[in-house]
Structure 1
Protein backbone atom coordinates (compact mmCIF):
# COMPACT_ATOMS: atom_id res chain seq x y z
CA UNK A 1 0.00 0.00 0.00
CA UNK A 2 1.21 3.47 -0.97
CA UNK A 3 -0.05 6.09 1.46
CA UNK A 4 0.17 9.89 1.50
CA UNK A 5 -0.70 11.69 4.71
CA UNK A 6 -0.94 15.47 5.17
CA UNK A 7 1.35 16.49 2.30
CA UNK A 8 1.95 20.25 2.06
CA UNK A 9 4.02 22.03 -0.57
CA UNK A 10 4.52 25.75 -1.17
CA UNK A 11 6.54 27.84 -3.59
CA UNK A 12 7.14 31.08 -1.78
CA UNK A 13 3.74 32.36 -0.69
CA UNK A 14 1.85 30.12 -3.11
CA UNK A 15 0.61 26.88 -1.53
CA UNK A 16 0.27 24.21 -4.19
CA UNK A 17 -0.54 21.23 -1.96
CA UNK A 18 -2.58 21.50 1.22
CA UNK A 19 -2.89 18.42 3.45
CA UNK A 20 -2.99 15.94 0.56
CA UNK A 21 -4.01 12.55 1.95
CA UNK A 22 -5.00 9.39 0.08
CA UNK A 23 -4.09 5.73 -0.33
CA UNK A 24 -3.22 3.60 -3.36
CA UNK A 25 -4.04 0.03 -2.43
CA UNK A 26 -2.09 -3.06 -3.47
CA UNK A 27 -3.49 -4.43 -6.71
CA UNK A 28 -5.71 -1.36 -7.16
CA UNK A 29 -5.86 0.95 -10.16
CA UNK A 30 -6.23 4.46 -8.77
CA UNK A 31 -7.11 7.35 -11.07
CA UNK A 32 -5.82 10.77 -10.02
CA UNK A 33 -7.88 13.52 -11.65
CA UNK A 34 -7.95 17.29 -11.49
CA UNK A 35 -7.72 20.36 -13.67
CA UNK A 36 -4.51 21.95 -14.91
CA UNK A 37 -2.52 23.28 -11.95
CA UNK A 38 -4.53 21.27 -9.42
CA UNK A 39 -1.41 19.64 -7.96
CA UNK A 40 -1.30 16.20 -9.60
CA UNK A 41 2.22 16.37 -11.01
CA UNK A 42 3.65 17.95 -7.85
CA UNK A 43 2.11 15.15 -5.78
CA UNK A 44 3.60 12.50 -8.06
CA UNK A 45 7.04 14.09 -7.93
CA UNK A 46 6.91 14.06 -4.13
CA UNK A 47 5.99 10.35 -4.18
CA UNK A 48 9.02 9.70 -6.39
CA UNK A 49 11.34 11.85 -4.28
CA UNK A 50 11.97 14.27 -7.14
CA UNK A 51 10.54 17.01 -4.90
CA UNK A 52 10.46 17.21 -1.12
CA UNK A 53 7.31 18.11 0.77
CA UNK A 54 7.12 20.86 3.38
CA UNK A 55 5.07 18.62 5.68
CA UNK A 56 3.46 15.19 5.71
CA UNK A 57 4.63 11.67 4.93
CA UNK A 58 4.69 9.20 2.06
CA UNK A 59 4.91 5.56 3.10
CA UNK A 60 5.01 2.17 1.38
CA UNK A 61 3.57 -0.74 3.35
CA UNK A 62 3.56 1.53 6.40
CA UNK A 63 7.24 2.51 6.27
CA UNK A 64 8.95 5.65 4.94
CA UNK A 65 10.00 5.23 1.32
CA UNK A 66 13.73 4.70 0.84
CA UNK A 67 15.95 5.11 -2.21
CA UNK A 68 15.97 1.32 -2.55
CA UNK A 69 12.16 1.32 -2.57
CA UNK A 70 12.05 3.92 -5.30
CA UNK A 71 14.29 1.79 -7.52
CA UNK A 72 11.37 -0.65 -7.59
CA UNK A 73 8.98 2.07 -8.82
CA UNK A 74 7.97 2.58 -12.41
CA UNK A 75 7.53 6.27 -13.24
CA UNK A 76 6.27 7.94 -16.37
CA UNK A 77 6.80 11.71 -16.10
CA UNK A 78 4.65 14.35 -17.72
CA UNK A 79 7.73 15.54 -19.61
CA UNK A 80 8.83 12.62 -21.74
CA UNK A 81 12.43 11.46 -21.29
CA UNK A 82 13.41 9.33 -24.28
CA UNK A 83 16.57 9.81 -26.33
CA UNK A 84 15.40 10.69 -29.86
CA UNK A 85 18.45 9.33 -31.71
CA UNK A 86 18.47 5.92 -29.99
CA UNK A 87 16.73 2.90 -31.45
CA UNK A 88 13.58 1.87 -29.62
CA UNK A 89 14.71 -1.57 -28.43
CA UNK A 90 18.20 -0.32 -27.56
CA UNK A 91 16.70 2.40 -25.41
CA UNK A 92 14.27 0.21 -23.48
CA UNK A 93 17.02 -2.33 -22.84
CA UNK A 94 19.16 0.53 -21.53
CA UNK A 95 16.49 1.48 -18.99
CA UNK A 96 16.22 -2.12 -17.83
CA UNK A 97 20.00 -2.27 -17.42
CA UNK A 98 19.90 0.89 -15.29
CA UNK A 99 17.68 -1.08 -12.89
CA UNK A 100 20.22 -3.91 -12.63
CA UNK A 101 18.95 -6.35 -15.25
CA UNK A 102 21.50 -8.47 -17.08
CA UNK A 103 21.83 -7.87 -20.81
CA UNK A 104 20.09 -11.01 -22.11
CA UNK A 105 17.17 -10.77 -19.68
CA UNK A 106 16.80 -7.05 -20.34
CA UNK A 107 16.64 -7.59 -24.10
CA UNK A 108 14.16 -10.46 -23.80
CA UNK A 109 11.81 -8.54 -21.50
CA UNK A 110 12.09 -5.32 -23.50
CA UNK A 111 11.30 -7.12 -26.74
CA UNK A 112 8.27 -8.91 -25.30
CA UNK A 113 6.93 -5.70 -23.75
CA UNK A 114 7.39 -3.63 -26.91
CA UNK A 115 5.68 -6.32 -28.97
CA UNK A 116 2.75 -6.35 -26.58
CA UNK A 117 2.51 -2.56 -26.82
CA UNK A 118 2.33 -2.82 -30.62
CA UNK A 119 5.89 -1.74 -31.40
CA UNK A 120 7.25 -5.10 -32.50
CA UNK A 121 7.90 -3.88 -36.05
CA UNK A 122 9.62 -0.69 -34.87
CA UNK A 123 12.28 -2.15 -32.58
CA UNK A 124 15.19 -0.94 -34.72
CA UNK A 125 13.71 2.46 -35.58
CA UNK A 126 14.86 5.59 -33.81
CA UNK A 127 12.50 7.17 -31.34
CA UNK A 128 12.35 10.42 -33.32
CA UNK A 129 11.03 8.53 -36.36
CA UNK A 130 7.98 7.30 -34.44
CA UNK A 131 4.63 9.05 -34.38
CA UNK A 132 3.78 10.85 -31.14
CA UNK A 133 1.41 8.02 -30.18
CA UNK A 134 4.11 5.40 -30.71
CA UNK A 135 6.61 7.50 -28.77
CA UNK A 136 4.08 7.42 -25.95
CA UNK A 137 3.96 3.62 -26.11
CA UNK A 138 7.77 3.51 -25.96
CA UNK A 139 7.71 5.83 -22.92
CA UNK A 140 5.29 3.45 -21.19
CA UNK A 141 7.62 0.56 -21.99
CA UNK A 142 10.48 2.49 -20.35
CA UNK A 143 8.43 2.78 -17.15
CA UNK A 144 7.50 -0.92 -17.11
CA UNK A 145 10.53 -2.77 -18.47
CA UNK A 146 12.12 -3.48 -15.08
CA UNK A 147 8.86 -4.99 -13.80
CA UNK A 148 8.26 -2.42 -11.06
CA UNK A 149 6.38 -3.16 -7.87
CA UNK A 150 4.68 0.28 -7.84
CA UNK A 151 3.54 2.32 -10.86
CA UNK A 152 3.16 6.11 -10.93
CA UNK A 153 2.17 7.38 -14.36
CA UNK A 154 1.51 10.99 -15.36
CA UNK A 155 -0.95 11.14 -18.31
CA UNK A 156 -0.09 7.73 -19.81
CA UNK A 157 -2.98 7.85 -22.31
CA UNK A 158 -2.19 11.26 -23.78
CA UNK A 159 -1.98 11.12 -27.57
CA UNK A 160 -3.05 7.48 -27.90
CA UNK A 161 -5.68 6.35 -30.39
CA UNK A 162 -8.52 4.10 -29.13
CA UNK A 163 -6.76 0.87 -30.11
CA UNK A 164 -3.56 1.93 -28.35
CA UNK A 165 -5.59 2.93 -25.28
CA UNK A 166 -7.03 -0.59 -25.09
CA UNK A 167 -3.55 -2.10 -25.41
CA UNK A 168 -2.11 0.05 -22.63
CA UNK A 169 -5.15 -0.58 -20.44
CA UNK A 170 -4.57 -4.32 -20.75
CA UNK A 171 -0.91 -4.02 -19.76
CA UNK A 172 -1.63 -1.81 -16.74
CA UNK A 173 -4.49 -4.02 -15.60
CA UNK A 174 -2.14 -7.00 -15.60
CA UNK A 175 0.31 -5.13 -13.38
CA UNK A 176 -2.43 -4.31 -10.90
CA UNK A 177 -3.67 -7.90 -11.01
CA UNK A 178 -0.17 -8.96 -9.98
CA UNK A 179 -0.52 -6.92 -6.77
CA UNK A 180 1.15 -3.63 -7.75
CA UNK A 181 -0.36 -0.34 -6.57
CA UNK A 182 -0.98 1.71 -9.73
CA UNK A 183 -1.54 5.49 -9.63
CA UNK A 184 -2.09 7.39 -12.84
CA UNK A 185 -3.34 10.84 -13.75
CA UNK A 186 -5.47 11.57 -16.76
CA UNK A 187 -7.73 14.25 -18.19
CA UNK A 188 -9.63 11.55 -20.09
CA UNK A 189 -12.33 10.87 -17.50
CA UNK A 190 -14.05 8.19 -19.56
CA UNK A 191 -10.86 6.10 -19.47
CA UNK A 192 -10.40 6.67 -15.74
CA UNK A 193 -13.98 5.65 -15.07
CA UNK A 194 -13.67 2.49 -17.15
CA UNK A 195 -10.28 1.41 -15.85
CA UNK A 196 -9.95 2.40 -12.21
CA UNK A 197 -10.94 0.68 -8.98
CA UNK A 198 -10.46 3.87 -6.97
CA UNK A 199 -10.53 7.59 -7.72
CA UNK A 200 -8.85 10.62 -6.18
CA UNK A 201 -10.09 14.08 -7.17
CA UNK A 202 -7.86 17.09 -6.45
CA UNK A 203 -8.56 20.80 -6.92
CA UNK A 204 -6.61 23.80 -5.69
CA UNK A 205 -4.05 21.51 -4.05
CA UNK A 206 -6.66 19.82 -1.85
CA UNK A 207 -8.23 16.38 -2.10
CA UNK A 208 -11.93 16.97 -2.70
CA UNK A 209 -13.02 13.32 -2.90
CA UNK A 210 -11.48 9.85 -2.83
CA UNK A 211 -12.68 6.28 -2.69
CA UNK A 212 -13.95 3.51 -4.92
CA UNK A 213 -16.20 4.30 -7.86
CA UNK A 214 -19.24 2.95 -6.00
CA UNK A 215 -18.40 4.95 -2.87
CA UNK A 216 -18.12 8.17 -4.86
CA UNK A 217 -21.37 7.49 -6.67
CA UNK A 218 -23.11 6.83 -3.36
CA UNK A 219 -21.70 10.04 -1.86
CA UNK A 220 -22.00 12.35 -4.87
CA UNK A 221 -24.18 10.55 -7.37
CA UNK A 222 -27.64 11.23 -8.62
CA UNK A 223 -30.66 10.98 -6.30
CA UNK A 224 -32.80 10.08 -9.30
CA UNK A 225 -34.03 6.61 -10.22
CA UNK A 226 -34.79 4.99 -13.55
CA UNK A 227 -37.65 2.61 -14.32
CA UNK A 228 -38.12 0.65 -17.54
CA UNK A 229 -41.24 -1.45 -18.09
CA UNK A 230 -42.70 -3.62 -20.82
CA UNK A 231 -45.70 -1.33 -20.83
CA UNK A 232 -46.78 2.23 -20.10
CA UNK A 233 -45.40 3.92 -16.98
CA UNK A 234 -47.89 6.78 -16.92
CA UNK A 235 -49.31 5.58 -13.58
CA UNK A 236 -46.05 6.72 -11.94
CA UNK A 237 -47.30 10.33 -11.94
CA UNK A 238 -50.01 9.36 -9.45
CA UNK A 239 -47.64 7.72 -6.95
CA UNK A 240 -47.40 9.57 -3.60
CA UNK A 241 -43.98 11.05 -2.76
CA UNK A 242 -42.80 10.78 -6.38
CA UNK A 243 -41.67 13.55 -8.75
CA UNK A 244 -41.39 12.44 -12.38
CA UNK A 245 -38.41 14.09 -14.13
CA UNK A 246 -38.60 12.37 -17.51
CA UNK A 247 -41.15 10.07 -19.10
CA UNK A 248 -41.44 8.21 -22.41
CA UNK A 249 -43.79 5.24 -22.67
CA UNK A 250 -42.38 2.53 -20.47
CA UNK A 251 -39.32 4.56 -19.41
CA UNK A 252 -39.30 7.09 -16.58
CA UNK A 253 -36.82 8.99 -14.43
CA UNK A 254 -38.08 10.09 -11.04
CA UNK A 255 -37.14 11.34 -7.58
CA UNK A 256 -38.59 9.91 -4.38
CA UNK A 257 -38.98 11.79 -1.11
CA UNK A 258 -38.36 8.63 0.94
CA UNK A 259 -37.09 5.07 0.69
CA UNK A 260 -40.63 3.81 1.28
CA UNK A 261 -41.96 5.85 -1.65
CA UNK A 262 -39.24 4.36 -3.85
CA UNK A 263 -40.08 0.83 -2.75
CA UNK A 264 -43.75 1.47 -3.37
CA UNK A 265 -42.88 2.35 -6.96
CA UNK A 266 -41.16 -0.99 -7.36
CA UNK A 267 -44.13 -2.88 -5.91
CA UNK A 268 -46.52 -1.01 -8.17
CA UNK A 269 -44.31 -1.61 -11.20
CA UNK A 270 -44.32 -5.36 -10.57
CA UNK A 271 -48.11 -5.24 -10.22
CA UNK A 272 -48.45 -3.38 -13.54
CA UNK A 273 -46.35 -5.79 -15.59
CA UNK A 274 -42.83 -6.96 -16.40
CA UNK A 275 -40.04 -4.80 -14.95
CA UNK A 276 -37.11 -4.62 -17.36
CA UNK A 277 -34.92 -2.55 -15.04
CA UNK A 278 -35.13 -0.44 -11.92
CA UNK A 279 -32.30 1.38 -10.19
CA UNK A 280 -30.46 4.54 -9.39
CA UNK A 281 -29.63 6.75 -12.36
CA UNK A 282 -26.00 6.21 -13.33
CA UNK A 283 -23.77 9.19 -12.56
CA UNK A 284 -20.64 9.63 -14.67
CA UNK A 285 -17.26 10.53 -13.25
CA UNK A 286 -17.40 13.77 -15.23
CA UNK A 287 -20.59 14.75 -13.39
CA UNK A 288 -19.11 13.83 -10.00
CA UNK A 289 -15.93 15.75 -10.84
CA UNK A 290 -17.88 18.90 -11.70
CA UNK A 291 -19.86 18.64 -8.48
CA UNK A 292 -16.93 18.24 -6.10
CA UNK A 293 -14.57 20.83 -7.64
CA UNK A 294 -16.96 23.73 -8.06
Structure 2
Protein backbone atom coordinates (compact mmCIF):
# COMPACT_ATOMS: atom_id res chain seq x y z
CA UNK A 1 0.00 0.00 0.00
CA UNK A 2 1.20 3.50 -0.79
CA UNK A 3 1.36 6.35 1.64
CA UNK A 4 -1.93 8.23 2.09
CA UNK A 5 -2.36 11.34 -0.01
CA UNK A 6 -1.73 14.62 1.80
CA UNK A 7 -3.15 17.84 0.46
CA UNK A 8 -1.19 20.92 1.40
CA UNK A 9 -3.44 23.73 2.62
CA UNK A 10 -2.54 27.03 0.91
CA UNK A 11 -5.75 28.93 1.68
CA UNK A 12 -8.77 28.82 3.95
CA UNK A 13 -12.46 29.27 3.08
CA UNK A 14 -14.44 31.44 5.51
CA UNK A 15 -18.14 30.65 5.91
CA UNK A 16 -19.33 33.31 8.35
CA UNK A 17 -22.73 34.07 6.78
CA UNK A 18 -22.29 32.52 3.34
CA UNK A 19 -25.47 30.48 3.72
CA UNK A 20 -27.57 33.58 4.53
CA UNK A 21 -27.13 36.21 1.77
CA UNK A 22 -29.84 38.55 3.11
CA UNK A 23 -28.37 38.50 6.59
CA UNK A 24 -24.95 39.08 5.03
CA UNK A 25 -26.16 42.32 3.42
CA UNK A 26 -27.48 43.64 6.75
CA UNK A 27 -24.28 42.44 8.41
CA UNK A 28 -22.18 44.45 5.92
CA UNK A 29 -23.91 47.77 6.66
CA UNK A 30 -23.80 47.14 10.40
CA UNK A 31 -20.07 46.35 10.33
CA UNK A 32 -19.35 49.31 8.04
CA UNK A 33 -20.96 51.64 10.59
CA UNK A 34 -18.99 49.98 13.41
CA UNK A 35 -15.73 50.21 11.46
CA UNK A 36 -16.12 53.89 10.52
CA UNK A 37 -17.12 54.80 14.09
CA UNK A 38 -14.13 52.92 15.49
CA UNK A 39 -11.77 54.49 12.96
CA UNK A 40 -13.03 58.02 13.55
CA UNK A 41 -13.44 57.70 17.33
CA UNK A 42 -10.08 56.13 18.14
CA UNK A 43 -8.24 58.32 15.64
CA UNK A 44 -9.82 61.44 17.14
CA UNK A 45 -8.92 60.46 20.71
CA UNK A 46 -5.28 59.86 19.71
CA UNK A 47 -5.11 63.26 17.95
CA UNK A 48 -6.72 65.11 20.89
CA UNK A 49 -4.44 63.53 23.51
CA UNK A 50 -1.32 64.31 21.47
CA UNK A 51 -2.43 67.82 20.48
CA UNK A 52 -3.89 69.11 23.78
CA UNK A 53 -1.43 69.69 26.65
CA UNK A 54 -4.30 69.47 29.18
CA UNK A 55 -4.47 65.74 28.41
CA UNK A 56 -0.76 65.07 28.90
CA UNK A 57 -1.24 62.98 32.03
CA UNK A 58 -0.78 59.25 32.82
CA UNK A 59 -4.53 58.58 32.58
CA UNK A 60 -4.74 59.91 29.02
CA UNK A 61 -1.39 58.41 28.08
CA UNK A 62 -2.86 54.97 28.79
CA UNK A 63 -6.08 55.92 26.98
CA UNK A 64 -4.00 56.94 23.94
CA UNK A 65 -2.25 53.55 23.97
CA UNK A 66 -5.63 51.79 24.34
CA UNK A 67 -7.05 53.71 21.37
CA UNK A 68 -3.94 52.87 19.31
CA UNK A 69 -4.37 49.16 20.11
CA UNK A 70 -8.09 49.35 19.23
CA UNK A 71 -7.33 51.19 15.98
CA UNK A 72 -4.92 48.45 14.86
CA UNK A 73 -7.33 45.75 16.06
CA UNK A 74 -10.15 47.24 13.96
CA UNK A 75 -7.94 47.30 10.87
CA UNK A 76 -6.55 43.80 11.40
CA UNK A 77 -9.58 41.85 10.19
CA UNK A 78 -12.59 44.13 9.77
CA UNK A 79 -11.78 45.56 6.29
CA UNK A 80 -11.36 42.01 4.99
CA UNK A 81 -14.61 40.89 6.64
CA UNK A 82 -16.40 43.78 4.92
CA UNK A 83 -14.99 42.82 1.51
CA UNK A 84 -15.84 39.15 2.11
CA UNK A 85 -19.52 40.06 2.51
CA UNK A 86 -19.65 40.36 -1.31
CA UNK A 87 -18.44 36.78 -1.90
CA UNK A 88 -20.26 33.50 -1.44
CA UNK A 89 -17.29 31.59 -0.01
CA UNK A 90 -14.42 34.04 0.50
CA UNK A 91 -10.89 32.73 0.79
CA UNK A 92 -7.83 33.91 2.68
CA UNK A 93 -4.27 32.71 2.06
CA UNK A 94 -2.65 30.47 4.66
CA UNK A 95 -0.02 33.02 5.68
CA UNK A 96 -2.44 35.96 5.65
CA UNK A 97 -4.65 33.91 7.97
CA UNK A 98 -1.74 33.31 10.36
CA UNK A 99 -0.79 37.00 10.41
CA UNK A 100 -4.40 38.07 11.03
CA UNK A 101 -4.83 35.50 13.78
CA UNK A 102 -1.62 36.18 15.70
CA UNK A 103 -1.74 39.98 15.35
CA UNK A 104 -5.28 39.80 16.76
CA UNK A 105 -4.07 37.61 19.65
CA UNK A 106 -1.19 40.00 20.37
CA UNK A 107 -3.54 43.00 20.54
CA UNK A 108 -6.19 41.23 22.65
CA UNK A 109 -3.60 40.16 25.25
CA UNK A 110 -2.15 43.70 25.30
CA UNK A 111 -5.61 45.16 25.91
CA UNK A 112 -6.27 42.71 28.77
CA UNK A 113 -3.13 43.85 30.61
CA UNK A 114 -3.61 47.51 29.68
CA UNK A 115 -7.10 47.65 31.23
CA UNK A 116 -5.62 46.36 34.51
CA UNK A 117 -2.90 49.03 34.36
CA UNK A 118 -5.55 51.70 33.84
CA UNK A 119 -7.40 50.45 36.94
CA UNK A 120 -4.21 50.86 38.98
CA UNK A 121 -3.81 54.38 37.62
CA UNK A 122 -7.33 55.27 38.83
CA UNK A 123 -6.55 53.71 42.21
CA UNK A 124 -3.42 55.87 42.59
CA UNK A 125 -5.30 59.00 41.50
CA UNK A 126 -8.24 58.56 43.91
CA UNK A 127 -6.71 56.74 46.88
CA UNK A 128 -3.32 58.48 46.95
CA UNK A 129 -3.85 61.83 45.20
CA UNK A 130 -1.01 63.65 47.02
CA UNK A 131 1.56 61.12 45.79
CA UNK A 132 -0.03 60.42 42.40
CA UNK A 133 2.67 61.92 40.19
CA UNK A 134 5.42 60.26 42.24
CA UNK A 135 3.71 56.86 41.91
CA UNK A 136 2.68 57.22 38.25
CA UNK A 137 5.87 58.82 36.97
CA UNK A 138 6.37 58.90 33.20
CA UNK A 139 9.21 56.40 33.46
CA UNK A 140 6.97 53.99 35.39
CA UNK A 141 4.05 54.46 32.97
CA UNK A 142 6.22 53.75 29.92
CA UNK A 143 7.74 50.72 31.69
CA UNK A 144 4.25 49.32 32.35
CA UNK A 145 3.25 49.69 28.70
CA UNK A 146 6.50 48.13 27.45
CA UNK A 147 6.13 45.23 29.93
CA UNK A 148 2.52 44.59 28.81
CA UNK A 149 3.58 44.54 25.16
CA UNK A 150 6.55 42.29 25.95
CA UNK A 151 4.28 39.84 27.77
CA UNK A 152 1.89 39.86 24.80
CA UNK A 153 4.71 39.20 22.32
CA UNK A 154 6.04 36.25 24.36
CA UNK A 155 2.55 34.73 24.72
CA UNK A 156 1.90 35.10 20.99
CA UNK A 157 5.28 33.64 19.99
CA UNK A 158 4.67 30.54 22.12
CA UNK A 159 1.33 30.05 20.36
CA UNK A 160 3.11 30.43 16.99
CA UNK A 161 5.69 27.78 17.95
CA UNK A 162 2.97 25.36 19.08
CA UNK A 163 0.69 25.79 16.07
CA UNK A 164 -0.27 22.62 14.13
CA UNK A 165 1.31 22.01 10.72
CA UNK A 166 -0.83 19.20 9.29
CA UNK A 167 -4.39 19.95 8.14
CA UNK A 168 -5.00 16.96 5.78
CA UNK A 169 -6.67 19.26 3.26
CA UNK A 170 -9.24 20.61 5.75
CA UNK A 171 -9.50 24.33 5.04
CA UNK A 172 -13.06 25.51 5.86
CA UNK A 173 -13.15 27.90 8.81
CA UNK A 174 -16.62 28.39 10.27
CA UNK A 175 -15.98 32.02 11.17
CA UNK A 176 -15.97 35.57 9.77
CA UNK A 177 -12.18 35.77 10.06
CA UNK A 178 -9.20 33.67 11.10
CA UNK A 179 -9.54 32.92 14.81
CA UNK A 180 -7.24 30.70 16.90
CA UNK A 181 -9.83 28.28 18.28
CA UNK A 182 -11.44 27.74 14.86
CA UNK A 183 -7.98 27.32 13.33
CA UNK A 184 -6.95 24.60 15.81
CA UNK A 185 -10.17 22.65 15.18
CA UNK A 186 -9.10 22.08 11.54
CA UNK A 187 -5.80 20.35 12.38
CA UNK A 188 -5.51 16.59 12.01
CA UNK A 189 -2.13 16.49 13.76
CA UNK A 190 -1.88 16.37 17.55
CA UNK A 191 -3.06 19.70 19.00
CA UNK A 192 -3.11 18.63 22.65
CA UNK A 193 -0.09 20.75 23.63
CA UNK A 194 -1.25 23.88 21.79
CA UNK A 195 -4.82 23.55 23.16
CA UNK A 196 -3.51 22.97 26.69
CA UNK A 197 -1.28 26.04 26.45
CA UNK A 198 -4.19 28.09 25.08
CA UNK A 199 -6.43 27.10 28.01
CA UNK A 200 -3.73 27.64 30.64
CA UNK A 201 -2.62 30.95 29.13
CA UNK A 202 -6.27 32.08 28.87
CA UNK A 203 -6.69 31.49 32.60
CA UNK A 204 -3.41 33.28 33.35
CA UNK A 205 -4.12 36.21 31.01
CA UNK A 206 -7.78 36.77 31.96
CA UNK A 207 -8.31 35.80 35.61
CA UNK A 208 -5.45 37.65 37.43
CA UNK A 209 -6.02 41.02 35.66
CA UNK A 210 -9.79 40.73 36.13
CA UNK A 211 -9.45 39.88 39.85
CA UNK A 212 -6.93 42.73 40.20
CA UNK A 213 -9.42 45.16 38.61
CA UNK A 214 -12.28 43.98 40.88
CA UNK A 215 -10.15 44.27 44.04
CA UNK A 216 -8.78 47.65 42.93
CA UNK A 217 -12.25 49.06 42.31
CA UNK A 218 -13.39 47.65 45.63
CA UNK A 219 -10.71 49.74 47.33
CA UNK A 220 -11.56 52.74 45.14
CA UNK A 221 -15.23 52.38 46.15
CA UNK A 222 -14.32 52.48 49.84
CA UNK A 223 -12.18 55.58 49.24
CA UNK A 224 -15.00 57.32 47.34
CA UNK A 225 -17.44 56.65 50.21
CA UNK A 226 -15.07 58.51 52.54
CA UNK A 227 -15.19 61.64 50.34
CA UNK A 228 -17.45 64.11 52.13
CA UNK A 229 -18.46 66.43 49.29
CA UNK A 230 -21.10 65.28 46.80
CA UNK A 231 -19.19 66.98 43.97
CA UNK A 232 -16.01 65.13 44.91
CA UNK A 233 -17.82 61.78 44.88
CA UNK A 234 -19.43 62.59 41.55
CA UNK A 235 -16.09 63.50 39.99
CA UNK A 236 -14.42 60.33 41.31
CA UNK A 237 -17.31 58.20 40.06
CA UNK A 238 -17.28 59.78 36.58
CA UNK A 239 -13.51 59.20 36.37
CA UNK A 240 -13.94 55.46 36.96
CA UNK A 241 -17.32 54.69 35.36
CA UNK A 242 -16.00 54.89 31.77
CA UNK A 243 -13.22 52.43 32.49
CA UNK A 244 -15.55 50.08 34.37
CA UNK A 245 -17.97 50.04 31.43
CA UNK A 246 -15.18 49.11 29.00
CA UNK A 247 -13.88 46.40 31.37
CA UNK A 248 -17.37 44.90 31.73
CA UNK A 249 -17.94 44.64 27.96
CA UNK A 250 -14.44 43.42 27.07
CA UNK A 251 -13.80 40.93 29.88
CA UNK A 252 -17.41 39.73 29.96
CA UNK A 253 -17.38 38.60 26.33
CA UNK A 254 -13.80 37.32 26.12
CA UNK A 255 -14.12 35.25 29.32
CA UNK A 256 -17.29 33.61 27.98
CA UNK A 257 -15.38 32.77 24.79
CA UNK A 258 -12.14 31.38 26.21
CA UNK A 259 -13.02 30.01 29.65
CA UNK A 260 -16.02 27.88 28.67
CA UNK A 261 -15.61 24.21 27.60
CA UNK A 262 -14.72 24.05 23.92
CA UNK A 263 -16.90 22.22 21.40
CA UNK A 264 -15.46 20.38 18.40
CA UNK A 265 -16.86 22.92 15.97
CA UNK A 266 -17.47 26.67 16.04
CA UNK A 267 -21.06 27.70 16.75
CA UNK A 268 -22.87 30.85 15.64
CA UNK A 269 -22.78 31.96 19.29
CA UNK A 270 -18.95 31.77 19.30
CA UNK A 271 -18.79 33.92 16.17
CA UNK A 272 -21.04 36.59 17.69
CA UNK A 273 -19.10 36.63 20.98
CA UNK A 274 -15.78 37.04 19.14
CA UNK A 275 -17.27 39.99 17.26
CA UNK A 276 -18.22 41.59 20.59
CA UNK A 277 -14.67 41.80 21.96
CA UNK A 278 -12.83 42.01 18.63
CA UNK A 279 -15.06 44.49 16.74
CA UNK A 280 -17.60 46.18 19.03
CA UNK A 281 -15.26 46.94 21.96
CA UNK A 282 -12.86 49.02 19.80
CA UNK A 283 -15.90 51.02 18.67
CA UNK A 284 -17.38 51.41 22.16
CA UNK A 285 -14.16 52.55 23.86
CA UNK A 286 -13.93 56.00 22.22
CA UNK A 287 -17.70 56.53 22.52
CA UNK A 288 -17.71 55.71 26.23
CA UNK A 289 -14.62 57.78 27.03
CA UNK A 290 -15.61 60.80 24.93
CA UNK A 291 -19.31 60.99 25.82
CA UNK A 292 -18.70 60.61 29.56
CA UNK A 293 -15.53 62.67 29.86
CA UNK A 294 -15.53 66.48 30.13
CA UNK A 295 -11.74 66.67 29.64
CA UNK A 296 -11.94 64.93 26.26
CA UNK A 297 -14.89 67.06 25.16
CA UNK A 298 -13.08 70.20 26.31
CA UNK A 299 -9.96 69.16 24.37
CA UNK A 300 -12.07 68.68 21.24
CA UNK A 301 -13.36 72.26 21.35
CA UNK A 302 -9.90 73.67 22.18
CA UNK A 303 -8.13 71.78 19.37
CA UNK A 304 -10.74 72.77 16.81
CA UNK A 305 -10.69 76.40 17.93
CA UNK A 306 -14.17 76.77 19.30
CA UNK A 307 -15.61 77.50 22.73
CA UNK A 308 -17.07 74.49 24.46
CA UNK A 309 -20.88 74.79 24.70
CA UNK A 310 -22.33 75.06 28.19
Q: Is TM (by shorter chain) over 0.5?
A: no
> Greater strand percent: which structure?
1
Q: TM-score, normalised on structure 2?
A: 0.22
> Greater helix percent: which structure?
2
Larger radius of gyration: 1
Q: TM-score, normalised on structure 1?
A: 0.23
